[in-house]
Amino acid sequence: MIPNSPIRADRIGADIDALAAITEPGRPWTRRAFTPLFLEGRKWLERAMQDAGAVTRVDAAGNLIGTIPGNKPALGTIMLGSHSDTVPDGGRFDGIAGVIAALEVARALRDQGVVLEHTLEVVDFLAEEVSIFGVSCIGSRGMSGTRPAEWLVRESGGLTLEQGIAHVGGVAWAPAQRDDIRAFLELHIEQGPVLQNEKLDIGVVTAIAGITRIEIIVDGRADHAGTTPMGSRKDALTTAAWIALGVEELGKALASGETHFAATVGEFEMTPNAANVVPARVRMLIDARAEQRDDMERFIEELEKGVAAIAEKTGVSVSTPRLVSDNPPTPSDPELLDVLDAACQTAGAKHRRMASGAGHDTAWMARITKAAMIFVPCVNGRSHSPDEFATSDDIALGAAVLLDAVKALDTKLQGTE
């Protein structure tokens, strides 16, 4: 237990263990959205929310919400939460820690006999991870009114997304966008090693990096690998290798500043992919992430120049880099960042501001309300793997920060409404 705090680490640990036990046999920790195990986990969460004094419902977008009415409901809602679905074979704490921390804040308020002026809601967003339908953040996009209509006809195993949302209790065609949420906060494991390496307790997230995906096609010429002279080849693979190294070099240069940047050649397809044939074609997909939009624009500009120079050097045709998707960064609300900094001080948590290189539901909630998030350390920065781990004490300290922030916002927001 944290001194002078109603937050209980033992309660948090027991909850995470209970949810972790709901997993596919032999596949820790697998509980994907829209599966029977996901619904079983949702039933457990619903009971836990009710035990904390919340009234539960599933909204039209398929999000599970526990509501604790405030003394003055007309003031609006302060919302906390994350997601309970996992990636395959990993994710015991990813998302789950944030849902359980939000639940613990609700229990701590109950234990203290505190009723907020604002309504408090704990949310488990539907399908934050990439789902069986190939899309992610389905619930938060639905709540923020940003879910594309064409997604509903996406199909997997004979089931459409519209039917999947109905299966979890939602109504996909009904409006789900909210206008009553005054602030949203999310706790999440860092999914990186910075906090552990710097021996810090909390990361106050300044922004969620924008994600841009860029496709490059390299068209060489297929030839016999044994008879074609080395100087006469148009090898698509060697040209693609130069490009991949250039992406790494450019990414490192942009990451050397004070803001977050990362670039990865994450998909790579080669044809004909035969040992005795000079590669004829390569398709590359670059995943680039930037805290500042200026960095992304510089990356795209330098990438185009570099690709053209490599094509000229090798004599192999390379397409102009094509933007497949391009999402801008989402800055956190400045007022909430100040509140979270102050809450860290109150809780005695060593903290720093930092950007998130991964996407989160917070990015979509920021479209409709003040939004911010905090990170807690995860061991060795491991995530999306069976080895993912965060201590109950670290999560509890994060929950204590959330608790103090919620109390501060309950007062502070009244002066702005």
Cα–Cα distances in angstroms (integers) from residue 346 to residues 8, 80, 274, in the given order? 17, 19, 62
Residue 151: pLDDT over 70: yes
The H or E element spanning position 40 is helix 36-51
Over residues 281-293, the mean pLDDT reads 98
Residue with tokens 């002279």: 229
Over residues 173-179, the mean pLDDT reads 95
Q: Indicate the pTM of the whole model.
A: 0.94
Distance CA 115, CA 74 (A): 15
Residue 253: pLDDT over 70: yes
Confidence of residue 90 (pLDDT cuts 50, 70, 90): confident
Domains along the chain with CATH numbers: 9-208+329-416 (3.40.630.10), 210-326 (3.30.70.360)
Q: Which residues pair with 219 in a beta bridge?
A: 281, 317
Identity of the residue numbered 251: G
Confidence of residue 415 (pLDDT cuts 50, 70, 90): confident
Q: What are phi and psi of 284, to 5 degrees?
A: -120, 140
The number of CA neighbours under 13 Å toward the Cβ of 220 is: 25
